[in-house]
Amino acid sequence: MESISESVIRSACRRLLRPIAAMILKCGMTWKEFSDLSKSVFVESASRDYGIRGRPTNVSRVSLLTGISRKEVKRQRDLLKAEAPIGGRKTTDATRLLSGWHQDPDYIDASHKPLILQEKGLVPSFEALCSRYGGDVPASTLCKELIKTGSIERMADGQLRAVRSYYQPAVHDDENLRWAMSLIEDLTETMNNNVFPDGSCVPRFGGSAENDRIPASAVPQFHEFLDQRGQALLEEIDDWLTKHVVADGAQPADRVRIGVGLFAIEDELTMERNK
């Protein structure tokens, strides 16, 4: 495979880091904090991904790959071992619950619309829905979160109505940041798989549709189009995934996580994007 030039690598890193820097600056993280964190991530990635026959990479090779001294590699590894585990994908339970509310025969009416539910009680109730799809998150916690984000609403009589079939956390919220980072992580993992293939990997679907000759006045119309067609596509995919889930009790080795991410592209034309 032809090697990638240093200038292309630097340009790619700059384009990848620019929106991330803009995001973390809004969160109050400084360059020094980001630098320290990136050192830890470099050590973690080199240790995990470059070992021989499935074993972690030794300290000397991690030092060679990252340019970090052996002493510092050892220190970073010790810090990683002591670090509290990062929380899982917090949106999964909420998304699964909303999908079940829109697709489970026990929770839809004759027109395939989600039923209005009592908060507590036997099937169909929100409490029972949480038991079926909400994982280990308490029903009261999920209810508050889904109301806060506008995914469901509490009616005057206290019953709950599904507003959306998908979950997106509130803006400027810890959960929203985790959700955004999970999308970026999935996208970069897919591109990493496709840009640097080896003998065992299979290319994953990746593509985009864009045009830089669209009048600014058409943006609202595009938003409306994407809200309708994009959401319809995601619901179709979610329906396919729901029909192919493994039985309860399946071993982790028999399961994989698959799916599709869909997001809008919109920016002003600038020379900066080409640097």
Could you read off the pLDDT of 47-58 as tens digits, one per residue? 988 877 667 789
User: In the predicted model, what is the mean pLDDT of residues 11-25?
Assistant: 88
Reply yes or no on whether the pLDDT at 127 is more than 80: yes
Reply yes or no on whether the pLDDT at 245 is more than 70: yes
Average per-residue pLDDT in the chain? 86
Predicted pLDDT of residue 271: 47
Reply yes or no on whether the pLDDT at 1 is more than 50: no
Predicted pLDDT of residue 120: 94
Predicted pLDDT of residue 178: 82
Predicted pLDDT of residue 270: 58
User: In the predicted model, what is the mean pLDDT of residues 11-35?
Assistant: 86
> By mean pLDDT, which of 35-39, 118-122, 251-255 is the weakest?
251-255
Predicted pLDDT of residue 250: 78
> By mean pLDDT, which of 10-14, 140-144, 246-250 is the weakest?
246-250
Beta-bridge partner residues of 48: none
**Residue 145, both tokens:** 């979160």
Predicted pLDDT of residue 170: 67
Reply yes or no on whether the pLDDT at 146 is more than 80: yes
Predicted pLDDT of residue 85: 57
